[in-house]
Structure 1
Amino acid sequence: MSNPSKEDWKTVQWIFTYLHGSVDVCLQFGRNRDGVIGYVDSDIAGDLDKRRFLIAYVFTIDGCAIS
């Protein structure tokens, strides 16, 4: 968006207000609570334009994402 309107900025402000008020909320599916679990995915040179090493990770505690 190269030229956001006042309505766009109000929407962005509402989203940040919502996120700030829901930092302790998480979605949890199932009843399996195994403590800390980490998931990692990596790709060597998968970015064909820049040939960068890509990595992504998610860690959970008792089913809630923490990073």
Structure 2
Amino acid sequence: MDIILKNVKKKDFPLLKKLAKSLGFEIVEKIEKPYNPEFVKEILEAEQSIKDGKGVKIKLEDLWK
């Protein structure tokens, strides 16, 4: 059986970890990251290139041509 605890405060985690260990449970920590770091880097670089004037402007009516 698996039990998942979410939104555990950092101050409470050591106590939960100690309790689980004393009961013979296995603890698996999984830190969720909402986005792939490479993807975030790519988006930030693209935004910076637009700020630097390296972007290309396309008129709305020409977008689907």
Relative to the length of structure 2, the TM-score reads: 0.30
Q: Which has the higher helix share?
A: 2
Structure having the higher strand fraction is 1
TM-score normalised according to structure 1 size: 0.29
- Quick one: higher RCO (CA 8 Å, sep 6+), 1 or 2? 1
